[in-house]
Amino acid sequence: MEPRRVKYTMHTAGMKAFGKRLRELRKAKNLSQEALAWKADSELSQISRMERGIVNAGLSQIFKIAEALEVPAKELFDFELGED
C-alpha cells in the first residue's frame, strides 16, 4: 500500500479576510506594522505578508499578535468571508 499524499491547500479568501481584519485592528490601535512586529516578537515582513493575505499565520503567532494588540484572539477572526 502506497503512502497517502496530502496536498497542502490554502484558503485564500480566509487569509485575505484575516489580513484585512488584522490591518483594521492594528490601525485602530495606532500601531505601525513595525511596532506591532516588535510587540508581537515577529518579523515586520511577516506582519506585512499576513496583512496582504499571502501567508498563513500560525496559531502561536495569532495569540502573540492578539496579546500585542490587547484584544482577545477571537477578535482577529471577526470578519465575513467574501468581503472586499
Residue 77 lies in a domain: no
Q: What is the pLDDT of residue 84?
A: 47
Residue 59 lies in a domain: yes
What pTM was estimated for this model as a whole?
0.86
Residues 29 and 21: beta-carbon distance below 8 Å: no
Domain that residue 64 falls in? 31-71
Residues 37 and 43: beta-carbon distance below 8 Å: yes
Angle (deg, nearest 10), helices 12-28 and 59-69: 20
Quote the CA–CA distance of 33 and 43 in Å, as a whole number.
9
What would the pLDDT profile of 34-83 be if each residue is shown by its tens digit?
999 999 999 999 999 999 999 989 999 999 999 999 999 999 999 998 64
Angle (deg, nearest 10), helices 12-28 and 44-51: 120
Q: What length does the chain have? A: 84
What total number of domains does the chain contain? Answer: 1
Residue 13 lies in a domain: no
